[in-house]
Amino acid sequence: MITLRLHRDARALLDEVAERTDRPLGWILGEATITAMVDVAGAADIEAARAVLAPHLPSPDKTHTSRMTTTLSKHCESVVGLLLTHQGGGLASTSAIVRAAWGHWISTATVDEIAEHLGVVRPRAQIAMGTGAA
Domain membership of residue 30 (yes or no) is yes
In this prediction, residue 33 carries a pLDDT of 82
Residues 121 and 129 sit within 8 Å (Cβ to Cβ): no
Query: Is 107 domain-assigned?
Result: yes
Domains: count for the chain: 1
> Which residue range forms the structural domain that includes residue 52?
2-129
The model's pTM is 0.69
pLDDT at residue 130 in the model: 62
Q: Considering the domain boundaries, does residue 134 fall inside one?
A: no
pLDDT per residue as tens, the chain (134 positions):
778 888 888 899 999 999 998 888 888 888 888 887 777 767 666 667 667 777 766 554 555 567 788 777 776 777 777 767 765 555 557 788 788 888 889 988 998 999 888 887 776 666 566 655 44
For residue 70, tell me if it sits in a domain: yes
Give the DSSP H/E element, type plus range, for residue 69: strand 65-70
Contact 96, 49 (CB under 8 A): no
